[in-house]
Amino acid sequence: MSVEIKNASLTLGDKVLLEDFSANFKTGELTIILGPNGTGKSSLLKLISREWKCNGQLSFYGKPSEEWKPADLAQSVGILPQYSSLTFAFTVREVVELGGLALSASQAEVSDIATQKMQTTDVVHLADRLYPSLSGGEKQRVHLARVLTQLSKSPREPVLMLDEPTSALDIGHQHKTLQLAKDLAKKGSAVIAVIHDLNLAAQYADHIIMLNKGYIVAEGSPKSVITPRNIEDVYGWPVEVIPHPVNDYPVILA
């Protein structure tokens, strides 16, 4: 496994965001985190990315988090945040090449890698545009290219975290982004994504963790987690779940 969390809890004020949370995130799997607003999904990614201190046990590749130097871990663990506060008038290429700061590579090599990742996320045609002029969806894809650049020379199976990566995307780019996440997992990465669209989760996830009020209420395959009872219990809304007529994954009808 790439990431292991044991007995993690997180409280902000009087609000419990995570309570006694334990999970393993494995290489070769796309794990999708589901749950209502404010239930701890993004907080979990902040713990894994070490933005917030974990008061439980957190380990990467079998080694405790506190034993990792930030520069070493940055080569293998990257996060696409939900929001970016970048306001400087950088070009798209310059933003993507920021991912190269974690690499032991020449500027020419970083530039080549950045071009490849911009092609992968469908933003290479925007390379000379100023980042602040982009739409929300274009910015998301630029930052995804930046994180992929950061992880491009990882000495071990990468861990890629995606916090609502499809929130600003049109339907085509939603599917392209999650298919990319799925493909990266198949090649050996551990991919952890937070999304709100249950149908997208059911279609692309290898493994789902459903949270409610800081607790894991269901975990397993899409078919075992995406059920009418689980969805009504967690989201407070009755639904029907039917198999997709071609691919058999669960489809939610609200």
Residue 85 scores a pLDDT above 80: no
Residue 52: CB atoms within 10 A of its CB come to 15
pLDDT digits (tens, 9 = 90+) for 34-77: 999 988 899 999 999 999 888 899 999 999 999 999 999 999 99
Residue 137 contacts residue 169 (beta carbons within 8 Å): yes
Contact 60, 159 (CB under 8 A): yes
Closest CA relative to residue 31, chosen from 179, 212, 208 = 208
CA distance 203 to 156: 28
pLDDT beyond 90 at 14: no
213-217, 224-228, 238-242: lowest mean pLDDT where? Answer: 213-217
Q: What is the pLDDT of residue 13?
A: 79
> What is the overall mean pLDDT for the chain?
95
Sign of CA dihedral 83, 89, 91, 97: negative
CA 64, CA 52: separation in Å to the nearest integer?
15
Mean pLDDT of 9-16: 82
Q: Where are the domains of the chain?
A: 3-76+157-253, 87-153
The whole-angstrom separation of Cα 178 and Cα 191 is 10
- Asked if pLDDT for residue 6 goes beyond 90, the answer is yes
**pLDDT value at position 87?**
79
Quote the pLDDT of residue 16.
79
Fold (CATH) for 3-76+157-253: Rossmann fold (3.40.50)
Query: Does 219 have pLDDT greater than 80?
Result: yes
Torsion (CA) 148, 32, 44, 137 in degrees, nearest 10: 50
The per-residue pLDDT for 216 is 95
Q: Which pLDDT does position 82 carry in this prediction?
A: 87
Spatial contact of 10 and 211, defined as CB atoms under 8 Å apart: no
What is the C-alpha separation between 33 and 45, in angstroms, rounded?
Answer: 10
193-213, pLDDT tens digit by residue? 999 999 999 999 999 999 998
Q: 165-185 pLDDT, tens per residue? A: 999 999 999 999 999 999 999
Check residue 17 and give its pLDDT: 86
The tens digit of pLDDT for each residue in 120-168 reads 999 999 999 999 999 999 999 999 999 999 999 999 999 999 999 999 9
Share of the chain above pLDDT 70, in %: 100
